[in-house]
Amino acid sequence: DKGTYEYYMLKEIDEQPVAIRRMLDKYFGDTGEILIGDQILNDIKAADRIYIVAAGTSYHSGLIGARIFESWSGIPTEVHVSSEFAYEQPLLSENPFFIFLSQSGETADSREVLQNVNRAGFKSLTMTNVEKSTLWREATYALPLMAGPEIAVASTKAYIAQVTLQAILAYALSDRIDLDLEQELSKIAVDIQAIVDDKAVFEKVANELLVPAHSAFYIGRGADADVSLEAALKLKEISYVQAEGFPAGELKHGTLALIEDGTPVIALLTQPKTAGLVRGNIAETQARGANAYTITTKALAEPGDTGYVLPDVDPLLAPLLSVVPTQLLAYYTSLGRGLDVDHPRNLAKSVTVQ
């Protein structure tokens, strides 16, 4: 039920703080212990490499997850697009563990990979929003995302839930990180609430910057490069503005040729390590006429920025915040162009063909 909302997508964006809180209730015990079965943890700890397999937005959440798994648990982690992995399987490590990310649990390409994994006798875990779905049933283990039904074709709260659950799992696999994840995630839920309460800001930016645009760029480095892919996918799928997400440093190796007077370039700037370099890349686009907008954190903001300032957050978890403005920008661009936000042309919610 959409209630007072015109479209499910905005309702689902607004539900993201609740989705995180539901996950905290489910996966953290009274004394802060993590409630994920020992068997799952032991099987993953015994692996020499994690392979995350997914499609679309779920693939993009896997890119973030891989950074967190490597950084917190120290287990090498690769992320693959399921439609590629199914037919061009890379050389596997000796003792792999597979994680399938899927909102619907029905994506045919991911299922194809899981069937190969099962035939080879490897262990797997599905993280999905739909309990008892195909990927849920066919994997060795399954953990629910509990984001509640996602109706809009454009996935939003499932991405947030997938990043959150991967972080919780990575945290459970590590015994040496100096972070209170439960507290950090509670704060992130509050921070997301503040971002979604700023809807009017993004409606204005979408109308001025993106509604009239032919094309747009999202740029960033590290986790911001991953979020730029998701931001661009969201924008193109519901607003039909041709959008590219790009590692900021790669721009000058070709794509910079596409920047013209007024081209929107939205820079994600949440990673302290590379912020200075991204600043340089923004300047390169501005020198070619780009209309630059930054989505940055308080610590990295500079006077004179045209953009939105997020609260400070652990850099690995920054995608949980930075993706939200990009969801809202996509939503309001679609709305401003008079499109059916929930039902973009040519797309289905669940992709059950290979």
**What are the residues binding ligand F6R (CB under 6 A)?**
55-58, 102-104, 107, 110, 154-155, 233, 237, 350-351
Cβ atoms within 10 Å, residue 199: 15
Nearer to ligand F6R, 274 or 327 (CB): 327
Taking the complex as a whole, how short is the minimal distance between the CB of residue 233 and ligand F6R, in angstroms?
6
Shortest distance in whole angstroms from residue 150 CB to ligand F6R:
8
Smallest separation (angstroms) from ligand F6R to the CB of 285: 26
Tell the smallest beta-carbon distance from residue 196 to ligand F6R (Å).
18
Query: Which is nearer to ligand F6R, 12 or 224 (by Cβ)?
Result: 12
Alpha helices in 253-338 (DSSP H): 275-287, 319-336
When CB distances to ligand F6R are compared, the closest residue is 56
Nearer to ligand F6R, 56 or 144 (CB): 56
CB atoms within 10 A of CB 260: 11
Sorted by sequence, the CB contacts under 8 Å of residue 344 that are 6+ apart come out as: 153, 154, 237, 238, 240, 334
Q: How far apart are CA 262 and CA 259, in angstroms?
A: 8
CB atoms within 10 A of CB 89: 14
Residue 286 or 352 with smaller CB distance to ligand F6R: 352
CA-to-CA dists, residue 143 to 128, 170, 171, 301, angstroms:
7, 14, 15, 37
DSSP designation for 142: E
Strand-by-strand arrangement of the 291-297 sheet: 242-247, 215-220, 264-269, 291-297, 307-310
Which of residues 228 and 263 has its CB atom nearest to ligand F6R in the complex? 228
Residue 181 or 330 with smaller CB distance to ligand F6R: 330
Amino acid at 280: G
Neighbours of 35 (CB within 10 A): 11
Tell me whether residue 16 or residue 102 sits nearer to ligand F6R (CB atom). 102
Q: Tell me how far apart the alpha carbons of residues 112 and 251 are, in angstroms, rounded to a whole number.
A: 35
The least CB distance from residue 86 to ligand F6R, in Å, is 13
Residue corresponding to tokens 């061009």: 88
Cα–Cα nearest to 324, from 20, 67, 6: 20
- Smallest gap from residue 61 Cβ to ligand F6R (A): 9
Q: How far is it, in rounded angstroms, from Cα 76 to Cα 69?
A: 8
Nearer CB in complex with ligand F6R: 102/291 = 102
Provide the minimum distance between the beta carbon of 144 and ligand F6R in the complex, in angstroms, as a whole number: 14
State which residue, 58 or 285, has the beta carbon closest to ligand F6R. 58
Non-local (6+) Cβ contacts of 287 within 8 A are: none
| CB of 107 vs ligand F6R, minimal distance in Å | 3
**Least Å distance between CB 256 and ligand F6R?**
27
